[in-house]
Amino acid sequence: MSTRKEAREPIALLQGTLDLLILRTLVFGSQHGQGIARAIELQSADTLLVDHGSLYPALQRLEARGWISAEWGVSDNNRKARFYTLTGIGRRQLVTETRQWRRLAAAIGGILGPEEA
Amino acid sequence: MRTRRRSDDDFRREIDAHIDLETDRLIADGLDPADARAAAKRKFGNVAQAHEIFYESRRIIWLDDLRRDSRYAFKAFTRTPGFMIVAILTLALAIGLNTAIFSIVDGVLLRRLPVPDADRLVRLFETNAEAGRPRAGGSPANFIDWRRTASTIDALTAIGDTSLTMTGVAEPEVIIGMIVSREFFSLAGATPVLGRTFAAADFELVANAALGPIAIREAATGDATVIISDWLWRRQFGSDPRIVGRQILLNGRRAAIIGVMHRDFLLDETRTGKADCWLPLVESRMATYRRFRQFTILGRLTAGTDVSRAQAEMSVIAASLAREHPRDNEGWGVHVTPLHESVVGGARGVLLILLGCVGCVLLIACGNVASLLLMRAEGRAREVAVRMALGAGRSRLVRQWLTESVLLSLLGGTAGLAVAFWAVPAIVASAPPNLPRVDEIAVDARIFAFTLSVSMLTGMLCGLAPAFAARTSTGRVVQALRSTGVAALGPGGRWLRQSLVVAHVGLAIVLLVAAGLMVRTLIAVHALDLGFEPRNVLTFGVDLRDEKYRGLANIRTFSRELIARLEALPGVEAAGVGSVPLLGGISNDFGVEHREEPVHSRMDVPSPGYFLGLGIRLRHGRFFVDADDQSNELVAIVNRAFARTAWGSDEVVGRRLRASQSADRWMTVVGVVDDLRMSDLESEAPAVVYIPHLQSGIATFNNYVVRTTGDPQDVIPLVRDAVRGLDAAVAVTRIATMEERVQRAVAPRAFNLLLIGLFAMVALVLAIVGLYGLISEAVASRTSEIGVRMALGARRGEVIRLVLGRSLVITAAGVLLGLGAAAAATRYLEGMLFGPTPLDPMTFAGVPLLFGIVAALAAVMPARRATHVDPVVALRCE
């Protein structure tokens, strides 16, 4: 993720983060790949620009682990698309990961100190 | 949890859908369709990469690569069929021969004996080194005592053998009977296919005892019980399903057939051949015989003991028996040995040597194929370069080459199996009679597994050669892409090929030396003077077990009449009775005038025609005549060995000797004959005393010798008629021509030579082919250089020297290496040699000479090609 200028390395670091974001997006209901990408861009106020293609390895991973399930369906504008849904396990996983992420963010914030004016 | 496998198509559709959706979105945002689609694609990023990640995520990469490599290899092979055929044939031959020999080694040495608990079975021998009997059989009385007292061995079983005349059937014959004690059938784990095994009562029957090896005087009532073999059942009784209960006559006594043994029953070897029938051992009638040491004793170790403990216990038991029965058992101990060892021990040495030799052949074949692969790799320099430029790592390329060579070897291995299928029966058919467990040799699943593993190993070994020698550094790659004249293999490759050839030559020399020693052995054996003339001689025996032939007088009458009839037959030059050479004989002590100690010598009891029949050469005096009978002076003929031992000279006609047990019957020597080989081919001819069969009071023989004018086989039916004419109940047995017997005696040596010679020839061919290849390549790669030199005025001799110089060095190095290795290795052949020593100079000198000549011939063609290079042409193509 991040702007296209970055090398592959940071993406690897943030792989777990991408999974988390996908799971979070799917809380609000099933969505297809393009929709998930859009949602992330929207909700992060365009700070995070996703290479749409790099979403798919994450989706495959999540699907293989059984945290999401997938099915072909029809989108709003009558296009065929593959829709992903959060599974029970995925939902529980989301809770765990979110908690961990918030703790991590708080810890880092504590070290970095308050934002300088 | 695994989701269902998605296909690549499915994923492609998903990506397409994604891009479509994004396009729609951007159109809705206001872009025009073409721009929208382009932007959508850009946003997606690298489609190809996404595909690749998906593709790789759900595949086992190396399996995929393997499939691709194999397909590629196949295509490459079919493009160069010549190379493929040569490589596969070479490997097929080598792997096939290896498989064949391994089948034999497996069947004879490695497989467990086909009886239950085979590794716990032991064999017991009585031993008395002082009396010269290190491995004697057990006696009945000792066997009974052992069984009673031994705690480390149970299921002790005694097995004896006897020959029985079977009558009351279509064709009377003499069959071999195996006499077994109670525990035999449970030890052997066998049940009859028809009828039953022996019941407890059978082991008490007098009728059964009467058929045993020890004569009994009681009259037998009732029938003896006998189990017959599958083969006997087929050949004499036509597989009659109602055979159980049928009565036959054995040695003139009534016997009932109570069962038929299974055809695969393999514990049927007796000392004289395969058993035709089994009889119960009636111990009660033999319990007192302590000196009749003719029984094979088997047993099974009890759980938790091993051979050394059993040996210790048996030695103690033997010692106490020797104390209790000093007259019979003094000096006799017991030797316990695993049954497997006693069955196969003798063959082990030879078989392992054969395996070693054939292994050498495989190594040479591997080397040849490796050379071929190296040559091929050179021709693929461009391909290697291109692949490296496209990003293939070195390990990837190595994997490709290994796949190719393993594939080649597997193909070769499959063809090799076909070779083995043909070769194994051929080898078994020509195997000498002393090869144990021949029936158990088979090409089956174990052998397949062996072939498979050998093929794969071979493939990997061969494939390592180009892998090792390839140059894959970037600089070379660039060069290869640019020009066409650079070899993919650097000095590493050339050096490898040369050392391979050196190794080949060395191995071939070792095998050739071994074969040479075998040849000399066989020649030495054939050159032995037999002492008689084996061609056109028929031998046979008769079994005179009937009552009417009790007593020497009756037997003699029969012999005399039979000889008269035989001599009257057309095509017969001479006939006589006497012992058959190469089969052993009896011995006796003879007292000689003016000498204290008696001379221990062999003894034979021939009729006059015997000497002519065998073609024995007379040195002094005369042969026997019909007049040498009971009414005339007692005479004898001696051979030269006896004459020299007893009197120190050949000219002993007129001297006197007597058999030690007949104190007053002095015999006068009337003739001296040449020595002949009585017991076996290779031992020294023993001293022999011949006593006329009409005068002998000691023994007589039932073997007949007939000299024919033509093929002895033609006379066989006439002989049978003659015997039948005298007495229809007498069976003719042990028919063989003398030549067959000599062949059989030579068979083991011939067998060794056959196999080792074959391997040596194959090795020679492969080594020469390798050498030829090397020289050809040397010429080809230096064509331009030769052109330059010739243009500058070099003469043919110089060119040849240039081209062959290196090859000469290589060959010489190989020969020297081979001779050194041979000198170290031939000591293991000692047991197989007769005549030459392991370091026989003639062989060690002759083999390099032979090899040099063949190598020179092989070098001729490339050398000529070198000198016929047209300098202009050579210079032009650069």
Question: Is the Cβ pair B17, A60 closer than 8 Å?
Answer: no
* B7 interface with A at CB cutoff 8 Å: no
- Provide Rg for chain B, Cα atoms: 39
For B749, how many CA atoms within 13 A lie in the half-sphere containing its CB?
22
DSSP at B281:
-
- State the average pLDDT over residues B483-503: 68
Q: Name the nearest CA neighbour of B623 among B588, B580, B666, B669.
A: B669
Give the model confidence (pLDDT) of B555-566 as tens digits.
888 888 899 999
Phi, psi (degrees; rounded to nearest 5) at A5: -70, -25
Q: pTM of this prediction?
A: 0.71
| Tokens 């790659």 found at | B477
Rounded to the nearest angstrom, the gap between the alpha carbon of residue B341 and the centroid of all alpha carbons in its chain is 17
Question: Is the Cβ pair B45, A75 closer than 8 Å?
Answer: no
pLDDT for the residue B1: 35
For chain A, helix, strand, coil in percent to 5 are 60, 15, 30
Question: Is the Cβ pair A79, B17 closer than 8 Å?
Answer: yes
Residue B108's SS3 state is helix
Pair B293, B136: CB distance under 8 Å: yes
Task: Give the pair of three-digit tokens for residue B618.
Answer: 């007379």
Q: Which of A13-17, B40-44, B408-412 has the highest mean pLDDT?
A: B408-412
Q: Quick one: pLDDT band at residue B488, thresholds 50, 70, 90?
A: very low
Neighbours of B529 (CB within 10 A): 11
Is residue B780 predicted with pLDDT exceeding 80?
A: no
How long is chain A?
A: 117
- Provide Rg for chain A, Cα atoms: 16
Q: Quick one: pLDDT band at residue B144, thresholds 50, 70, 90?
A: very high
Whole-angstrom distance, CA of residue B625 vs CA of residue B592: 24
For chain B, helix, strand, coil in percent to 5 are 55, 15, 30
In sequence order, which ranges of B2-80 are alpha helices (DSSP H)? 8-29, 33-44, 47-57, 61-79
Whole-angstrom distance, CA of residue B509 vs CA of residue B830: 18
Beta carbon pairs, A and B, within 8 Å: 71
Rounded to the nearest angstrom, the gap between the alpha carbon of residue B213 and the centroid of all alpha carbons in its chain is 34
Which residues on neighbouring strands pair with residue B637, listed in sequence order? B671, B690
Least confident of B429-438, B639-648, B670-679, B683-692: B429-438
Phi, psi (degrees; rounded to nearest 5) at B229: -85, 160
Q: Quick one: pLDDT band at residue B648, thresholds 50, 70, 90?
A: confident
Neighbours of B718 (CB within 10 A): 17
Whole-angstrom distance, CA of residue A114 vs CA of residue B427: 93
Q: Which of B66-70, B397-401, B670-674 has the highest mean pLDDT?
A: B670-674
Whole-angstrom distance, CA of residue A9 vs CA of residue B294: 88
Compute the nearest-CA separation of B61 from chain A (Å).
Answer: 17
- State the average pLDDT over residues B184-200: 86
- The larger pLDDT score, comparing residue B332 to residue B474, is at B332
Neighbours of A67 (CB within 10 A): 24
Whole-angstrom distance, CA of residue B716 vs CA of residue B739: 15
Pair A101, A85: CB distance under 8 Å: no
pLDDT for the residue B707: 93
Q: Name the nearest CA neighbour of B236 among B300, B145, B168, B140.
A: B168
Question: Which chain B residues have a beta carbon less than 8 Å from that of A70?
Answer: 3
Give the model confidence (pLDDT) of B99-140 as tens digits.
898 988 888 888 888 788 888 899 999 988 877 677 888 888
Q: Name the nearest CA neighbour of B561 among B726, B721, B734.
A: B726
Whole-angstrom distance, CA of residue B639 vs CA of residue B689: 7
How long is chain B?
A: 878
Report angle CA A107, A112, A114 to the nearest 5 degrees.
Answer: 100
Whole-angstrom distance, CA of residue B12 vs CA of residue B186: 71
pLDDT for the residue B382: 73
Nearest CB among A66, A69, A75 relative to B21 is that of: A75
Whole-angstrom distance, CA of residue B39 vs CA of residue B27: 10
pLDDT for the residue A6: 42
CA distances (Å), origin B157, targets A22, B154, B187, B214, B781: 82, 9, 8, 18, 74
- State the average pLDDT over residues B65-69: 81
Whole-angstrom distance, CA of residue B118 vs CA of residue B340: 8
Report angle CA B280, B285, B286 to the nearest 5 degrees.
Answer: 90
Which amino acid is residue B116, in one-letter code? P
Task: Give the pair of three-digit tokens for residue B315.
Answer: 């030695």
Rounded to the nearest angstrom, the gap between the alpha carbon of residue B112 and the centroid of all alpha carbons in its chain is 17
Which helix (H) or strand (E) segment holds residue B104: the answer is helix B81-105
pLDDT for the residue A4: 44
* B15 interface with A at CB cutoff 8 Å: yes
In sequence order, which ranges of B529-639 are alpha helices (DSSP H)? 552-568, 608-614
Q: Name the nearest CA neighbour of B405 among B665, B664, B73, B179.
A: B73
- The larger pLDDT score, comparing residue B486 to residue B136, is at B136
pLDDT for the residue B124: 92
Question: Is the Cβ pair B44, A57 closer than 8 Å?
Answer: no
Nearest CB among B20, B49, B57 relative to A53 is that of: B49
Interface test with A, best of B9, B21, B41, B42 (most A CBs within 10 A): B21
- The larger pLDDT score, comparing residue B792 to residue B318, is at B318
Q: Kindly give the parts of chain A with pLDDT less than 70.
A: 1-15, 45-50, 116-117
Pair B774, B855: CB distance under 8 Å: no
Compute the nearest-CA separation of B53 from chain A (Å).
Answer: 7
Phi, psi (degrees; rounded to nearest 5) at B836: -75, 155
Nearest CB among B3, B21, B49 relative to A32 is that of: B21
* B46 interface with A at CB cutoff 8 Å: yes
Q: Quick one: pLDDT band at residue B314, thresholds 50, 70, 90?
A: very high
Whole-angstrom distance, CA of residue B758 vs CA of residue B385: 43
Give the model confidence (pLDDT) of B266-298 as tens digits.
777 777 677 889 999 998 888 888 888 888 899
Instruction: Please list, in sequence order, all residues whose beta carbon lies within 8 angstroms of the beta carbon of residue B30, skipping any fewer than 6 positions away.
Output: none
Interface test with B, best of A15, A34, A69 (most B CBs within 10 A): A34
CA atoms B238, B242, B243, B249: torsion sign: negative
DSSP assignment of B631-642 equals TS--EEEEEHHH
Whole-angstrom distance, CA of residue B758 vs CA of residue B747: 16
Compute the nearest-CA separation of A81 from chain B (Å).
Answer: 6
Task: Give the pair of three-digit tokens for residue B99.
Answer: 């498989």
Least confident of B163-167, B297-301, B512-516: B163-167
Report angle CA B466, B89, B803 to the nearest 5 degrees.
Answer: 55
Pair B737, B713: CB distance under 8 Å: yes
Cα of first residue to Cα of last residue in chain B, in angstroms, is 65
- State the average pLDDT over residues B401-408: 85
Which helix (H) or strand (E) segment holds residue B405: the answer is helix B394-429
Q: B 57-116 residues with CB below 8 A of A?
A: 57
DSSP at B818:
H
- State the average pLDDT over residues B311-339: 90
Give the model confidence (pLDDT) of B529-550 as tens digits.
888 888 899 998 887 766 777 7
Which helix (H) or strand (E) segment holds residue B278: the answer is strand B277-280
Whole-angstrom distance, CA of residue B474 vs CA of residue B590: 93
Neighbours of B469 (CB within 10 A): 22
Cα of first residue to Cα of last residue in chain A, in angstroms, is 28
Nearest CB among B1, B47, B57 relative to A53 is that of: B47
Give the pairing type, strands B277-280 and B173-180: parallel
